[in-house]
Structure 1
């Protein structure tokens, strides 16, 4: 894979006790140094006007001024420093780079993965929250539509937290399909099955709130039973993965039970869906707060594109997950 990366993203430092630290990128790069076929690209930062295509310009100005004044605690979870403005623009620019490269047809070992930070999927149109300032994947989706020739974009968010910001920005859009697989009841408490979009976007939001006992087989059933038919019907030109790695069983801030192998399996499923519908495929980093788990999981995504065959799980999933999948299928008129 080709990884979008910039040292500028390390300058956003919310403090030594904050889980969303520069050490996350250092850990990923240290692990990828032992992998075959890794290359890095540093894109230009996003222009403020590109960010403002999905964010309220007044909010963007307020955030810029907040950083220029030295930053501080935007809310109890979300902290900025002076350099956070530049890091946030760089992170959004890296996501746009991934979208551009995916739309240009880069596949296989050239598949793009943006490892920028701060992450983005909690940032709503007019506010920061949950460690996020600009919604990188939503900015990238809009950029692909505005500049890279995409007519329809799909976003798959497998971070353990619901991508409330992405949903907020895109909820009434018919040209972007947003699907989130997340732990039920976890921060920020949104993402119910019946949140399916409104207006022109009715039916283009899919939420799968997993029980905290969910493991690999349950997530794969979402891909096979729900995402594949939904995305075949939507027929996107581009599939972007909001790739958080905090649904791992060893992540400190969640309870879902995924193994590291699950990320290889989900990557393989996403690749297969993209090939089936003829969409470009790109990845954008979101969460993941156990450094070893994060680094190993990103490396396994890379190794999947480098020829490693994922190992299917032996276990199944319980009746509660089956009932959830039925509910989501019914909400989206999908036959199971």
Structure 2
């Protein structure tokens, strides 16, 4: 894979005790050192105008000023320093680079994966939260839609971070040209993402939430992709598929209770690659969370290996747990979707 990366993103420092540290990117890079076919590309930083295409301009200007004044605690979880503003612009810029690469034909071993930080999927239209100041994947989706030369009419975003992508949902909740699906742990921060949150007005149905019970394992997530997510993407028929790729649903991540294995991320990536191929959509990945350094690095590495030719190992038991089945049935009903038995 190609990885969008900038050293500038290391300068964002929310504090030595904060889980969203620059060591996350260092761990990923260290694990990828011995992997075949890894390439790094530094995209250009996003302009204020590109960020303001999805965020309130006054809010973005206030973040810039907040950082210029030395930063501090925006809220109890979300902290900035002077260098955070540049890191934010470069993090969003790596996501836009991933869009450029994907829409320019990068596939297979060249599939783009942006590993910027700070992450973005909790940032709403006019506020920062959950470690996030700018919604990188939302900026990238809008960037693709705004570029006349790309001829993109519909973008789908699949968010597999263990936390609900409330910010991405907020930004696109009334939009018919962006389909957003979040598969996340039920009841976890920020407490949003219920099944009945499906969009508003003419955009009803373009938001899908799959809140998984604590303890859900690989089979549950794979059933969600093979069931409601596949049916929805086939119906929506996107030109571009973006993956908000958080790795904190791993069973060894310190801040969640979902039980995914490292191999699950290979399987999820492989299935989404197939769905992108089936809908003739370009595909790109954007890093979100993941706070156990070893499992984060392992999981990103196995996604890379999947695109470098490694066949994922299929699970011995592919039947979802009894607590997951009614969730998927309710999601299908909320979106008036059916799947072949």
TM-score range, shorter chain: over 0.9
CA distance in structure 2 between the aligned counterparts of 1:200 and 1:323, rounded to whole angstroms = 27
Query: 1:305 aligned to 295, 303, 307, which one?
Result: 307
- Aligned-partner SS, 2:324: helix
Kindly state the Cα deviation for residue 101 of structure 1 after the two structures are TM-superposed: 1.2
Deviation at 1:318, TM superposition (A): 2.0
TM-score, length-normalised on structure 2? Answer: 0.98
Trace 1:144-183 onto structure 2 (pairs within 5 A).
Answer: 144-147=144-147, 148-183=150-185
Equivalence for 1:90: 90
For the 8 Å contact 2:121–2:165, the answer to whether it is kept is yes
Please give the alpha-carbon distance, in whole angstroms, between the structure 2 residues aligned to 1:95 and 1:224. 26
Which range is displaced more, 314-323 or 129-138?
314-323
d(CA) in 2 for partners of 1:194 and 1:324?
12
Q: 2:332 is matched with which residue? A: 329
- Separation (CA, whole Å) in 1 of partners of 2:220 and 2:185: 12
1:73 aligns to 2:76 (yes or no)? no
- The answer to whether the 8 Å contact 1:9/1:90 transfers is yes
Query: What pairs with 1:275-314 in structure 2 (closer than 5 Å)?
Result: 275-314=277-316
- Give 1:227 shift: 1.1
Contact 1:178 1:206 in 2 (8 A): yes
After superposition, where does 1:196-207 map in structure 2 within 5 Å? 196-207=198-209
Question: 1:317 Cα deviation (Å)?
Answer: 2.1
Equivalent in the alignment of 1:256: 258
What secondary structure, in the 3-state scheme, does the structure 2 residue paired with 1:320 have? coil
Normalising by structure 1, what TM-score? 0.99
Distance 1:218 1:250 in 2: 17
- Aligned partner of 1:189 among 168, 191, 194: 191
On the 8 A contact 1:249/1:256 being kept in 2, the answer is yes
Contact 2:44 2:94 in 1 (8 A): yes
* 1:201-280 mapped onto 2 (5 Å cutoff): 201-280=203-282
- Cα shift readout 1:134-190 (whole Å, capped 9, x = no counterpart): 000000000000013210000000000000000000000000000000000000000
Pairwise CA distance, 1:57 = 0.3
CA distance in 2, matches of 1:318, 1:24: 32
> Structure 1: where are the runs of 5+ without partners?
none
2: distance between equivalents of 1:303 and 1:16?
31
On the 8 A contact 1:103/1:237 being kept in 2, the answer is no
Structure 2 gaps, min length 5: none
Q: For the residues of structure 2 that align with 1:149 and 1:91, how far apart are their CA atoms? A: 24
1:216-247 CA-to-partner distances (Å, cap 9, x unmatched) read: 00000011111111111100000000000000
1:11 lines up with 2:11 in the alignment: yes
Return the alpha-carbon distance in structure 1 between the equivalents of residues 268 and 88 of structure 2.
27
2-side partners of 1:82 and 1:201: how far apart?
38
- Runs of 4+ that moved beyond 6 A: none
Paired residues of 2:219 and 2:321 also in contact (CA < 8 A): no
Answering whether residue 322 of structure 2 is matched by residue 319 of structure 1, we say yes
> How many Å separate the matches in 1 of 2:303 and 2:312?
10
Partner SS state of residue 128, structure 2: coil
